[in-house]
Structure 1
Amino acid sequence: MRRDEVEPGGVDALLGARLAELRAERGWSLGELAERSGISRSTLSRAERAETSPTAALLNRLCAVYGRTMSQLLSEIEAEPAPVVRSADQPVWEDPSSGFVRRSVSPPHTGLRGELVEGRLAPGADIAYDRPPVPGLEQHVWLLEGELEVTVQDVAHSLGAGDCLRLRVWGPTRFRCPGPRPARYALAVVLP
């Protein structure tokens, strides 16, 4: 499936519908959301209509505007929260344009402050977030395999397998896999 083709009734369709609901709940036009997020009206419209699969950077900007983490947003399109989510049932979201794969490991629950995510970056993958989804978000990045460079407010941290970085996110961050092997990491996210 090409990036600009989405499966009817799939994750992208559910995500698009939820994004449209969040905008409608606030009474914002596409123009108002475009001003708040820095994303063009046409891109927002295509994402809401599930005509395209949003990138990680785009979702991050929308999460910042709506005051949610990416996991919270994705959990809002899941059916019912369960106390246990088997490995085969853990939602996986992929951003093919950046080489980023995200697995929501924690059972979804909107009332909890912490969550666990598995991230995978292909060699050479480079993802820049211009702002945190929630200011002051606490993150623990535990690198399981490969090499990872995490830049937080212009300070680069090079991680090797087994290393763990703790940070509070107030500004831009960047995750980069210098290669030659993929990077796989566990990310613990805690709301302030």
Structure 2
Amino acid sequence: MSIGPTTKSIAEMVAERPSVDNQDVFNALWNITTELKEKVFARFDLQPDPCSAAYQPYGGGDNGPQGFLSTFAGSEIDWLVYSWIGTPNTSFTNMHLTIHVGPQYDIPHFGFALGTAPDIFMYMDYLPRTDLWSDVSYLDKYYTGTNERFLQFQSDGRFSPFVSQDMSMRLYQSPTSNCYMVPPTDETTAIIRATAHEMIDRWLGWF
């Protein structure tokens, strides 16, 4: 049975359960993010941007929030962010692998985020470079292959669709965006890992 959509904000969910030690879950999710990042770096020649050099890592004083921020660019990739922030031992973490493609391609940008609030938050999407309402050929080309996985998540009662309270965030998502809250288990983490690799492998195959 589906547990229905999640309409609470991340802040509200963390406030309800503020002291969950999620260090092991964080480690697993950060490993997934790093696995994807390594696949990207094996394909593209990317150079670090000095703007983030001072934030590797940052924070963490008196057991407070901490994080890691690294940014890169190259001839085919305009901007890549590989980062995390949070307090893994007290409920909240957030990590990103965000990749903006160079203008010589029409390939969608790659949007990816995982985190804990304190259940797992997951977001995986291909960010369109055109208006999908009017460019149906672009929709068919880049999103048909993701539709089956989207429908699988929609019918899996463990994964609660995360509905952002911010309208602009909902607007930015594609019709097959995978954005969910899910309790952390070995099985759900394995599903997230498999989907993440499926998403990055398909995206890399478009170049």
Same fold, judged at TM 0.5 (above) = no
Compare the two structures and name the one with the higher helix fraction: 2
How high is the TM-score relative to the length of structure 1?
0.30
More RCO (CA 8 Å, sep 6+): 2
Compare the two structures and name the one with the higher strand fraction: 1
Of the two, which has the highest radius of gyration? 2
